[in-house]
Amino acid sequence: MTEPISPFKGKTGLQRIMNAAGYSWAGLGAAFKHEDAFRQEVFLLALLVPLAVYLGDSGIERALMIAALLGVLIVELLNSAVEAAVDRVSLERHPLIKRAKDMGSAAVMLSLANVVMVWSLVLIG
């Protein structure tokens, strides 16, 4: 028995890459438009990336500090995606919905704690 084929699949090569890039930009735009936390974290990134470049003594230090900041955005995007999918399924209060949203929030909190830890270790030396 063959699996059903998604109508959204099938592009290959350069066309697939161009489609994927478009979907990625659309996702970033949607997050920026609809997610306050994402906008705040982008603002934080815009402030701290130049500071990381200035304060880092080596390329590795700068890369670690910037990677930690980008990690926050990545986790926030995943958290927002989970929340949007869950809200699409149901807006009712349910323990499993709360658990999913709380876990996403915890992931964002840990990524922010990671920024503090990485920056502290790099700057303290």
What is the Cα–Cα distance from 30 to 25, expressed in whole angstroms? 9
What is the Cα–Cα distance from 71 to 75, expressed in whole angstroms? 6
Domain ranges of the chain: 36-124
Q: Which of 5-14, 71-80, 116-125 has the lowest mean pLDDT?
A: 5-14
Please enumerate in sequence order all residues whose Cβ is within 8 A of that of 55, keeping only pairs 6 or more positions apart, or say none: 61, 65, 122, 123
Mean pLDDT, range 64-89, rounded to an integer: 96
Q: What tens digit of pLDDT does each residue of 3-36 get?
A: 777 766 767 788 889 999 999 999 999 999 999 9
pLDDT band, very low/low/confident/very high, at 91 (cuts 50, 70, 90): confident
pLDDT of 8 reads: 65
Strands (E), 30-125: none
pLDDT of 125 reads: 86
Q: Which of 3, 61, 76, 92 is catalytic?
A: 76
The yes-or-no verdict on residue 44 having pLDDT over 80 is yes
Mean pLDDT, range 39-52, rounded to an integer: 98
Residue 97 is encoded by which pair of tokens? 């919905």
What is the Cα–Cα distance from 25 to 115, expressed in whole angstroms? 25
Q: Does domain 36-124 have CATH number 3.30.70.1140?
A: no
Compute the residue count for the chain.
125
3 is catalytic: no
pTM score, whole prediction: 0.86
